[in-house]
Chain A
């Protein structure tokens, strides 16, 4: 149960990191007087031979990285056990390990996980988040040299769920981290996909999709810390919003430190506004401390539905609502296609279709 420590101060909403978030809706997760239960929230539904899951005491498995995120600080205070997922060195696993949440009560809870990928291993892990939750969650990724991990985080929460999460990767020499973050459910979801490097030749590819309807607040704050030479990063997030008071926030912070010569980075965020009452905030931010780089760029666009596309499809006899669906599916296809799992791709597209139908009705 929670204990109050001196270094924790609840956010007021005036902080840069919290200025977009509706703090009244975080279900007590940031309130030091609220009891938060520590939970081992992950279980394997589709195992793979060379990946094992164990539960360890928090003292024996301290956090890999520092964090100034208040939700993470608060969660670390209350966590007593940590889930450890380990991919064996040199394992070449083509099928995904699928994990899902369990033990979530819909009351304030906190969970912490470390995913360690052994030297030269190659694997894919899919995390399904669904049902009710009020969850502060931290997942750290420790990628050993030469390893390659694709981590797919699916937020298909119920309409009430609150999820404050940090997903932080430390990528060592010649390792590759591919993150795909898909957020379609939840009342309030605030995720921090963040990356730092610990050796050259390392690479991060951060892809994301979010779809917000009436009243949903979906926030993704990316942070890429180019703190070693010759590392690469790509960020590509796409969002669509429909219905009254749908709100999305995308922050893309990329730092190229003075020692990070040879950095190659590009970040992109595109938002599609499907109705008037929706709001998409998009803030790319690139800070460069060395000129000796391969490339650095960013772009952010927020636009309305393209009437010319709709006209073209309609002029071929396709009814307006089917045409809209096609255009939205097309907009997201680039990201969804990266999951490479037809069942999940169809499930996500169907969910997007049905959420959209509810808004239109």
Chain B
């Protein structure tokens, strides 16, 4: 049983006009096996929260703490955070020209597991995970995210989630840009991974659509850089009906 604990997190970003505060004290505790949905309007700071936990250099932490089983996540480098068990499925996965998916996955698995996976079992493992996500085998020979469609990018993120087996996964708008079929495949992937592990999930989304497939235990409403309301799955239904107006005009 692991715990990801976010306390009073404040984050700024450097802009041409100086530092702008984006996160204004975020409190959130996620335990293994739990699924927390964070829902909020565009620009409320959801991706900033995701990137700050993962350690993106653009964001400056100005207050608060993030700990994983008591260990100070904010003191770790980006790769150390991943090796400690955090995974971020990005809203906009990055192209890496000239680096094949095969090479990338194997390098990442080697880093996370602390040793190179055995060639024989690894090839099977990758093939099976790709098949489960309805990915063509020639996908592995393509360059990371280069020329991928929106759906392919998101599947590739979930493929990594499956192979790298983190303790906690942050899924940043994994549903955006997906058609219904792709959304179902990706969601089933997440549910399968969760079913086979003790994964804790922070599911960031703008729309309630994905929550029909991935059932959250907790729902948090995010507005203007912090959590403004928390509840159970019923909160998502309310947002579905009424939208974010009540939180943004307040």
Contacts and interface: CB of A to CB of B under 8 A. Distances in A.
Interface of A: 307-309, 311-320, 322-323, 326-327, 329-334
Contacts of A311: 56-57, 78, 94
A318 B111 contact: yes
10 contacts: A309-B94, A309-B95, A313-B107, A314-B82, A315-B55, A326-B103, A326-B104, A329-B98, A330-B143, A334-B98
A331 B97 contact: yes
Contacts of B97: 330-331, 333-334
Contacts of A333: 97-99
B132 interface: no
A313 B108 CA distance: 8
A313 B55 CA distance: 12
Contacts of A332: 98
A331 B98 contact: yes
B107 A312 contact: no
A247 B79 CA distance: 32
B108 A316 contact: yes
A314 B99 contact: no
B238 to A, nearest CB: 33
B77 interface: yes
Given A315-B88, A316-B82, 5 more contacts: A312-B144, A329-B98, A330-B96, A330-B97, A334-B98
Given A311-B94, A330-B96, A318 B56 contact: no
Given A309-B94, A312-B90, A312-B93, A318 B108 contact: yes
A45 B221 CA distance: 71
B202 interface: no
B112 interface: yes
Interface in B192-248: none
**Central interface residue in A311, A332, A334, by most chain B CB within 10 Å:** A311
Nearest to B103: A326
Given A330-B99, A331-B97, A316 B77 contact: no
B82 A320 contact: no
Contacts of B78: 311, 314-315
Contacts of B104: 313, 316, 326
Interface string B13-56: 00000000000000000000000000000000000000000111
B142 interface: no
A315 B54 CA distance: 7
Nearest to B146: A330
Interface in B67-85: 77-79, 81-83
A332 B77 CA distance: 27
Contacts of B54: 315
A311 B97 CA distance: 14
Contacts of A312: 90, 93-94, 96, 144
B164 interface: yes
A333 B77 CA distance: 28
B12 interface: no
B65 interface: no
B91 interface: no
B10 interface: no
B160 interface: yes
Interface string B143-184: 110000000000000001000100000000000000000000
